[in-house]
Amino acid sequence: MRCSVYQQRPTDSSVQRARAHLWAAIEGKIAAFDFRDTALRKDVKSLLSEARELLGRLLDFLPARSRVDWANCRAAMWTASPVGGEFVAHPELDDIELDDLLCVDDQKAGIDLNTRQFLAGAPANNVLLWGARGTGKSSLIHGLLNRYFESGLRLVEVNKTLLTALPQIVVQLSAEPYRFVLFCDDLSFEADDASYKVLKSALEGSVFKSSSNVLIYATSNRRHLLPEYMSDNEQAAFVDGELHQSEAVEEKISLSDRFGLWFSFYPFKQQAYLDVAIHWLDKLSAAHGVTMTFDDEVRAEALRWALARGVRSGRTAQHFARHWVGRLVIEQQSKE
pLDDT at 221: 81
Compute CA distances 73 → 1, 37, 65, 91, whole Å.
Answer: 8, 60, 16, 9
What is the residue extent of each domain of the chain? 5-66, 93-265, 270-335
What's the whole-model pTM score? 0.75
Residue 219: strand, helix, or coil: strand
- Report the candidate in 210, 235, 144, 137 with the shortest Cα–Cα distance to residue 181: 144
pLDDT at 24: 66
10-residue averages of pLDDT along the chain (336 residues): 48 54 62 62 70 65 70 90 79 88 95 97 93 93 96 94 86 92 85 67 65 90 65 51 51 73 94 96 94 94 96 95 95 84
Right CATH number for 93-265 from 3.40.50.850, 3.20.20.70, 3.90.1150.10, 3.40.50.300? 3.40.50.300
Phi/psi region, residue 250 (left: phi>0; alpha: psi -120 to 50; beta: rest), is alpha
- Number of alpha carbons in the 13 Å side-chain half-sphere of residue 118: 29
> Between β-strands 179-184 and 214-220, what pairing exists: parallel, antiparallel or unpaired?
parallel
pLDDT at 246: 46
User: What secondary structure letter does DSSP report for 150?
Assistant: G
Compute CA distances 279 → 87, 145, 225, whole Å.
Answer: 36, 21, 32
Cβ atoms of residues 187 and 256 within 8 Å: no
Tabulate helix, strand, coil % of the chain (nearest 5): 50, 15, 35
* Polymer length of the chain: 336
Cβ atoms of residues 233 and 247 within 8 Å: no
